[in-house]
């Protein structure tokens, strides 16, 4: 008789639970450290820092949000004076792109300093080799899933 495999025994379940737990912890850490941006806004800021001049569509893909949610995040960041939007051309079309303001660059560095302890403590029971294996395996899995998903669109 074949062994019954439950969803709770799958890799998908473990990854989903870790992601949910990290999300809950991030919200709590940001509140406790009195960081005046949300974890989603932080991810957007960090992504824009690494990809200055990115357009909203490309940012949405990188942060795994739909364009409407990404737009709301960007509106909030712009209201806080952390990003600036500007018109540029891409494939002969006008598109809105964005970059960090001076305040945005300062803010991202301040946040990174504040959350460094949390990030380090979350990995303290894992060796560098284990962390590297987890990271590379998850990246490989993500790339495989993106290929499959992109093929079926």
pLDDT, tens only, 83-99:
999 998 878 888 889 99
Section 120-147 average pLDDT:
89
Torsion 63-65-71-77 (CA) sign = negative
38-110: which CATH topology? Answer: Arc Repressor Mutant, subunit A (1.10.10)
User: Is residue 39 a contact partner of residue 27, using CB atoms and an 8 Å limit?
Assistant: yes
Nearest to 114 by CA among 49, 19, 32: 32
* More confident position, 45 or 2: 45
Q: What is the pTM of this model?
A: 0.84
Q: How many beta carbons lie within 10 A of that of residue 66, not counting itself?
A: 8
Packed helices 67-79 and 56-63: angle between N→C axes, nearest 10 degrees = 110
Section 65-80 average pLDDT:
95
Section 27-33 average pLDDT:
94
């Amino acid at each position: 008789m074949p062994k019954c495999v439950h969803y709770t025994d799958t890799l998908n379940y473990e990854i989903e639970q870790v992601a949910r737990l990290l999300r809950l912890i991030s919200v709590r850490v940001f509140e406790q450290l009195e960081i005046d941006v949300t974890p989603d806004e932080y991810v957007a800021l960090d992504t824009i820092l690494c990809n200055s001049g990115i357009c909203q569509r490309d940012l949405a893909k990188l942060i795994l949000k739909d364009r409407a949610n990404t737009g709301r995040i960007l509106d909030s960041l712009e209201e806080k004076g952390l990003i600036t939007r500007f018109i540029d051309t891409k494939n002969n079309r006008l598109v809105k792109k964005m970059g960090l303001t001076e305040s945005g660059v300062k803010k991202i560095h301040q946040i990174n300093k504040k959350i460094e302890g949390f990030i380090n403590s979350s990995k303290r029971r894992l060796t560098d080799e284990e962390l590297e294996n987890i990271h590379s395996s998850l990246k490989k899995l993500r790339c495989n899933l993106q290929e499959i998903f992109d093929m079926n669109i």
